[in-house]
Chain A
Amino acid sequence: MAESVLSIRDLRVTFQTQMGELCAVRGVDVDIAAGEILGVVGESGSGKSVSFLAAMGLLPATATVTGSVMLDGVELIGAKKKLVRSIRGRLMSMVFQDPLSALNPVHRVGDQIVEMIQSHQKIDETKAFARAVELLEIVGIPQPDERAKQYPHEFSGGMRQRVVIAMAIANNPKVLIADEPTTALDVTVQAQILEVIQRVQQSFGTAVVLITHDLGVIARVADSVNVMYAGRNVESGSVQDLFDHPSHPYTRGLLSSLPQEGIERLVPIAGFPPNMLAPPPGCGFAPRCPHVIQSCNASLPSLVPFEGLMTSCIRADELRIGGLRS
């Protein structure tokens, strides 16, 4: 396996809330190599965003973060604020669902990219502006030199997301984290944005973490996948293995709840995710799992190798033999 540019170990995040301590992330590992696209899927509230916000050092003070986040050999957890700030936007950057939140409405788009470049590089205004125009071109904005002089409100949603991606890649980061970058966009525009992300990954060897709830998006662009549930990775592996023979009942449930041609009745997963103020002691999916047995509730299962995947289901082997796979 290629060396990881981003390596996360036993990441844990808890929030102090009025109702008590909320365990948002409960021991997550991530490995991603240069030029790889890692898809992260999972139930809403499973800790996808929080995991990577923690890696970026972007969580509020109410969050307690432990574990290890190594970026290109540098430990970020517990590191000085100054170091984390110098890395953010330079070695690792993040793109969110709502591009407007990342753009300043009163500044020209080109100037915002220039600012992003100059905050990390000593480079004169003219050169930085030329680079901004080049970046807009890379992300597929027509007439980039003119568009650079316009304001965010003069751009459509899809164009704004391109601008945000241009800003995120302005300093050639090693890792680009995209959190639901296409969720607010139409499918035809989503296809364009996914293509931009793939282009960035292929031309610059950027490692991309793509957080999405859309298994179709994962199938289209991801090389490998982490499936999250209740603050844990429940299954991970290559995209082919995961779709071909998912081992975890949650992954299987997710796949079979999708509408498919020729299927009369959809198969939902009964119940809903656990309350993370008091998560279950064992497998987080156990309360909804059709295959639950007593030992599932005994202790938190860890990921173990299984048929080319890593799975946290202690019954993976039995369920396969039993032919329960959907």
Chain B
Amino acid sequence: MNMQSQAPLLSVQNLVKNFELRASKGLRKSKRIVQAVSDVSFNVSTGKTLGIVGESGSGKTTVGRSILQLITPTSGRIFFDGQDLTELSFEELRVVRRQMQIVFQDPFASLDPKMTVGTSISEPLVVQGISGDHQDRVAELLDLVGLAPDHARRFPHEFSGGQRQRVGIARALALDPKLIVLDEPVSALDVSIQAGVVNLFGDLQKRLGMSFVFIAHDLSVVRHIADDVAVMYLGKIVEIGNKNAVYNDPSHPYTKALLSAVPLPDPKVERLRHRIMLEGDVPSPVNPPTGCRFRTRCWKATELCAQTEPELVARATGQQSACHFPE
């Protein structure tokens, strides 16, 4: 194995994304800045899955969209296969985009209702200027996601939610990407159907060796599918590492609270379990707290937490966490 193949497929380094909000309050025009993602770094290796979890508005989708350069980061670098995507021209990006795809939550919104499923699936091939009749490839892709070849002639409304999500995945697979960002890919599906789509991701990874960034709010699904997990809070990664370390020995108080809040499908366990109830709400990303961003809801917070922002530090259990008073 040469050095090249040992480098991570994706390396996100010090990613920052601020959104400018132009709000006019009375006569005074004020410019407010949403700090959606603030200095986020992580790596994803070939054939591996990084799960990203965290409160709504913590910046998960913004990270996902930044990876594909669907939005331009305010600063930071995104290395994909050794290339810094933030430095590529539009044309160069188009070529790299073959290798990376994104699948969104709503399988209905992401498919054109007037296009047959086959046309939808082959669209990326056409966009990338790949000529020829794509019928065989479409059939192959449908087969990969567990649908039949004759499904190609049908329209999205003829499919169930789970099937539509499979179509979306087939489309994402069309160009043989090395990386797929999955943004809440099963959240809109019934539990009974979700399981099949989750299995599909596992199978695809085994067969095609691709990497996933799997964004989800369902912590048990992430635990099932991911190798590593990043926990985000208000634009920052507060804890990241091997999923077993993070789930079994959470080090950051927010991770601990999050895990303890997840309802488990077992009445005996649920009724005996100790839960950490977080007080209050997530602060505004326009005006995040000084120091540690979690401190306003943290039961361990001291003066130090307000003054000094904790950095990600490696813990004995293997993961990294950003806390002055880790568990």
Q: Do A and B bind each other?
A: yes
Question: Which residues in A have some Cβ–Cβ distance to B below 8 Å?
Answer: 43-44, 142, 156-159, 185-192, 194-195, 213-220, 239-240, 243, 253-255, 257-261, 263, 265-270, 272
Q: Verify if B88 is at the interface (C-beta below 8 Å from A).
A: no
Contact partner of B56 among A186, A216, A220, A255, CB < 8 A?
A: A186
Which residues of A have CB within 8 Å of B175?
none
Which residues of A have CB within 8 Å of B257?
188
Which residues of A have CB within 8 Å of B151?
none
Q: Verify if B199 is at the interface (C-beta below 8 Å from A).
A: yes
- Show 18 residue pairs from A and B whose CB-CB distance is below 8 angstroms, ordered by the A residue: A185-B56, A187-B262, A191-B263, A191-B278, A214-B263, A217-B263, A219-B263, A219-B269, A220-B264, A253-B192, A260-B220, A263-B224, A265-B202, A266-B195, A266-B198, A266-B199, A268-B199, A270-B196
Structural contact, A213 and B190, CB atoms closer than 8 A: yes
Q: Verify if B191 is at the interface (C-beta below 8 Å from A).
A: yes
What 0/1 readout, one digit per residue, does chain B (106-130) give for beta carbons within 8 Å of chain A? 0000000000000000000000000
Structural contact, A219 and B281, CB atoms closer than 8 A: no
Which residues of B have CB within 8 Å of A214?
263
Structural contact, A191 and B261, CB atoms closer than 8 A: yes
Closest 3 CB pairs of A and B: A216-B263, A268-B196, A268-B195
Question: Which residues in B have some Cβ–Cβ distance to A below 8 Å?
Answer: 55-56, 160-163, 190-196, 198-199, 202, 217, 219-221, 223-224, 257-258, 261-271, 275, 277-278, 280-282
Structural contact, A219 and B266, CB atoms closer than 8 A: yes
Structural contact, B258 and A216, CB atoms closer than 8 A: no
Structural contact, B277 and A258, CB atoms closer than 8 A: no
Structural contact, B190 and A259, CB atoms closer than 8 A: no
Which residues of B have CB within 8 Å of A216?
262-265, 270
Which residues of A have CB within 8 Å of B261?
187-188, 190-191
Structural contact, B217 and A243, CB atoms closer than 8 A: no
Q: A219-B265, A265-B202 are in contact. Are A43 and B192 (CB under 8 A)?
A: yes
Structural contact, B265 and A266, CB atoms closer than 8 A: no
Structural contact, B267 and A243, CB atoms closer than 8 A: yes
Give complex CA distance A44, B162 in Å: 12
Contact partner of A187 among B190, B219, B266, CB < 8 A?
A: B219
Which of B162, B198, B221, B263 gathers the greatest number of chain A CB atoms within 10 Å?
B263
Which residues of A have CB within 8 Å of B223?
259, 261
Structural contact, B264 and A219, CB atoms closer than 8 A: yes
Give complex CA distance A259, B202 in Å: 13
Which of A142, A191, A254, A255 gathers the greatest number of chain B CB atoms within 10 Å?
A191
Structural contact, A243 and B265, CB atoms closer than 8 A: yes
Give complex CA distance A260, B161 in Å: 23
Structural contact, A156 and B192, CB atoms closer than 8 A: no
Given contacts A188-B257, A219-B263, A219-B269, 18 further A-B pairs with CB under 8 A are A43-B190, A187-B217, A187-B263, A188-B261, A190-B261, A190-B263, A191-B263, A195-B277, A219-B265, A219-B267, A254-B192, A255-B265, A257-B191, A259-B223, A268-B193, A268-B194, A269-B192, A272-B163
Which residues of B have CB within 8 Å of A217?
263
Give complex CA distance A267, B267 in Å: 21
Q: A186-B217, A187-B261, A268-B192 are in contact. Are A259 and B56 (CB under 8 A)?
A: no
Which residues of A have CB within 8 Å of B265?
215-216, 218-219, 243, 255, 258
Closest-CB distance, A59 to chain B (whole angstroms): 23
Structural contact, A258 and B199, CB atoms closer than 8 A: no
Which of B56, B163, B191 gathers the greatest number of chain A CB atoms within 10 Å?
B191
